[in-house]
Amino acid sequence: MQIIRDPDALDEALAALREGGGTIAFVPTMGALHAGHMALIAEARLRASHVVASIFVNPTQFAANEDLDSYPRREAGDAAMLEAEGCAILWAPDLATMYPDGAQASLRAPAVAEGLDGAARPGHFDGVATVVARLFAQVRPDVALFGEKDYQQLAVIRRLVCDLGLPVEIVGVPTQRDADGLALSSRNAYLSDEERAAARALPRALGEAAQAIAEGAPVGDALDKARARLAAAGFDPIDYVALHDAETLAPMAALDRPARLLAAARIGRTRLIDNLPVAPA
C-alpha cells in the first residue's frame, strides 16, 4: 500500500490504478480505525478494482468546544490495518494541502442537514460537505462508501452528490456493532469501563422503541420511554431521540413509510449517536 501526502503523487498513483479500465472505491475517514471501517474497506473491494482510503481529521466540522485536539490519531496502526485489508492507497493530506493558503471557500450543507445533529452541532455538516467535496475532487472515485451509523451524514452526502451532479456512486454500509450491541465508533475509546457498561442502554433503548413503534405503539410514547431509559442509565444531556423519514429525514409522528429511529446523547464526556431502521407493517 502506498501512503501518499502530495497531490501530484496522488494523481500519478491514481492514474496507474486506472490503467486498463481500473475502477476506484473510496473510503474517507478521520482515522482511529476499527472494525466498522474495515467493513467499509471489505465492501469497497467488492465494488471496484482498487480501494483508496483517506485519513484527515477535518477541523471545519468541529465546533470550538468539541474534541478536535483530543480526537485519537494513530496513523501507523491505521495504515497497517488498511494494508492488511487490501487497500491500494492511503491518502493522508495535511491541513495545508486540504485548505491551501487558508482557503475560505466552503459549501453550505443541503436542507437534509437541518435538525438532529445539524441542530445540536451548528456548522458541522457544512464542514463535512466541504471536506468531502474536496476529497472527491482529489480522488475522483467511481464509488464512495460511508457507514450508516452516521446516518444523517450519509443523507447529506447523497444529497450533495445529487445537487452537484458529481459522478460518484454513494453506498451506505450497515452499522457494525460490538457483542454488547454498542455501535462501533472511534469515540468509544473515550469511555471508562463504567461508562461503557452504561452506554449499552443506547442500542437497547432504541431497539425497544423501534419494536414498539413497528408493532403499533404511539410514536411519542415510545420515544418518551427511550429517553427515560437513557436518562436512567446516566446519559445527560440527551440531544434527541426521534423518528424521521428514512430518505428525506423529515420528522414523523406516525409510522406510515420507511423510517429511521435516531438518537444522540452524552455519557460522561463522550457523545454517542446511533440509529435503527423502522418499517411499517
> Would you name the residues annotated as active-site residues?
37
Query: Residue 240 is inside which H or E element, if any?
Result: strand 238-245
Q: Which set of grid coordinates corresponds to residue 167?
A: 459522478
Residue with cell 454517542: 272
Q: Which set of grid coordinates corresponds to residue 203?
A: 442500542
Residues linked to residue 278 through DSSP beta bridges, in sequence order? 259
143: nearest Cα among 5, 29, 40, 61: 40
The rounded distance, in Å, linking the Cα atoms of 77 and 82 is 9
Where are the extended beta strands (E) located within 47-160? 50-55, 89-91, 143-147
Query: Residue 24 is inside which H or E element, if any?
Result: strand 24-29
The rounded distance, in Å, linking the Cα atoms of 45 and 28 is 14
